[in-house]
Amino acid sequence: MSGQARTWWTVRPREVGFLVLGLPVAVLGGAYTLAALYAGVLLSLTVVGLPVTALALAGARQLGTPHRWLTARLLDEAVPAPGPAARPDGLVARIGAALTDTVAWRTLGYLLLRLPLGVLGFAAVLLPPACGWLIGFPLWLRLLEPGPHPATALDAAAPLLGLALLALTPPLLRLAADANRRLARHLLGPARTQQRVHDLEAARHTLLTAAETRLRRLERDLHDGTQARLVALAITLSLADDTLADGTRTDPRLRTLLDRARTQTDDTIAELRALTQGLRPTGLDGGLTEALPALAAGCAVPVAVRLEGLPGEPPARPDEAVERTLWYCAAELLTNISKHSAATAARLTVTTTATRIRLTVHDDGHGGASTAPGHGLHGLAERLAAVDGTLRISSPPGGPTDVTAELPLRL
């Protein structure tokens, strides 16, 4: 039926299968919801009321998974799974997070509404055999009661009622299937605000990836094109200088102009190299495991580097935007240590988990670092916020200073 407009009298076999197979799942989900609500209300005045309700909500969140699977396989309605539940530290914080989990409450509402819908849908599936019995009502009556049987109005009304219900069966089946689609779409998927956040994150990731690709292309064009031509021009000027030096008579003004042109060309090449390195640090080609030690080696203050669990090779490496942001953070913090901290030693530590990467820079300087507007670390915090990163500073007067930047591995 794909590619063709469907009428209300066309029903897919998989939709009928959903209405049949979904009934026991709906009964189990409805029983769980009623039991959870009953236990929550009954225990609401006791100490265990809130933990039991929180546990019931966490279970309801998990029960949404098989319903999403059935909806996708049999109703062709792919409902995106909501994001993971928040898991803060501490038992009280986790109970509070579970009680305020909108996804769990919406799933609980779905399970509650799915029970009557499941019963009505299954009843619609049973309509054809019931219609067949109504159509043949006069025959069944005579088979059950042999002998003469006077005709009644029911003998004529029952077949007509059976035919009418038989004609209404396909629209009722379609209506039940569509109601289940809408219910799953609105209650089993992410909330509208969550979906909006997800779409914005996906758009941001696309923009950052595209920007990274453009920066790489620009760096390559500058390095292989403009810079190469400037180097060729510098070589030509050197050859011209050598040719003038071999002559017997040389105009001083010409030599002055030639020396000036060589100096300007060399300065332009140096500025261009600094610009291309600013677009994307060349040290990142080998990953953070090579770039960070090289960065620390160039600091004026001795820096001890410790890399813990840092992935080195794709696809385990962080996203390019994350790597570049972390490198700039390390470069900015080490530069601040060299220029402003009066420190004698520093330490750079990188730790990585399954989803996050953390950079910590410690120095024994005089402290006083701040993220207030107008300070260099304020811009660093804004750069981190663009990739869902955070910046924490501990820098009391007199030192020491600890700056921690934490970012997600994937955007």
59-79 pLDDT, tens digit per residue, is 888 888 889 998 888 888 888
pLDDT digits (tens, 9 = 90+) for 176-209: 888 999 998 888 887 666 666 666 666 566 666 6
Sign, Cα dihedral of 238, 243, 249, 251: negative
Banded model confidence at residue 348, pLDDT cuts 50, 70, 90: very high
Neighbours of 207 (CB within 10 A): 11
Per CATH, the homologous superfamily of domain 283-408 is Histidine kinase-like ATPase, C-terminal domain (3.30.565.10)
Q: pLDDT value at position 318?
A: 78
Strands 356-363 vs 401-408: parallel, antiparallel or unpaired: antiparallel
Query: Which one has a higher pLDDT value, 346 or 83?
Result: 346
Whether 397 and 373 have beta carbons less than 8 Å apart is answered as: no
Q: Which two tokens stand for residue 220?
A: 């390559």
Average pLDDT over residues 328-352: 86
pLDDT digits (tens, 9 = 90+) for 278-295: 555 656 767 788 888 888
Q: pLDDT value at position 94?
A: 82
Q: Which of 112-121, 136-145, 182-191, 390-399 has the highest mean pLDDT?
A: 112-121
Q: pLDDT value at position 2?
A: 40
Residue type, 269: I
Neighbours of 257 (CB within 10 A): 11
Q: Which two tokens stand for residue 374?
A: 């107008």
Nearest to 360 by CA among 382, 334, 386: 334
Q: For residues 222 and 216, give the distance between their C-alpha atoms in angstroms, rounded to a whole number.
A: 10
pLDDT digits (tens, 9 = 90+) for 77-129: 888 888 777 777 788 888 888 888 888 888 999 999 999 998 988 888 877 77
Q: Which long-range contacts (CB under 8 A, 24 or more apart) does 6-10 make?
A: 8/170, 8/171, 8/174, 9/170, 9/171, 10/170, 10/174
Residue type, 13: P
324 phi/psi in degrees, rounded to 5: -65, -40
* Strand segments (E) across 75-128: none
Domain edges within the chain: 13-187, 203-280, 283-408
- Triad 390, 392, 393: Cα angle to 5°: 150
Query: Which one has a higher pLDDT value, 161 or 140?
Result: 161
User: Helix 192-221 and helix 320-336: axis angle, to 10°?
Assistant: 70
Banded model confidence at residue 315, pLDDT cuts 50, 70, 90: very low
Whether 324 and 359 have beta carbons less than 8 Å apart is answered as: no
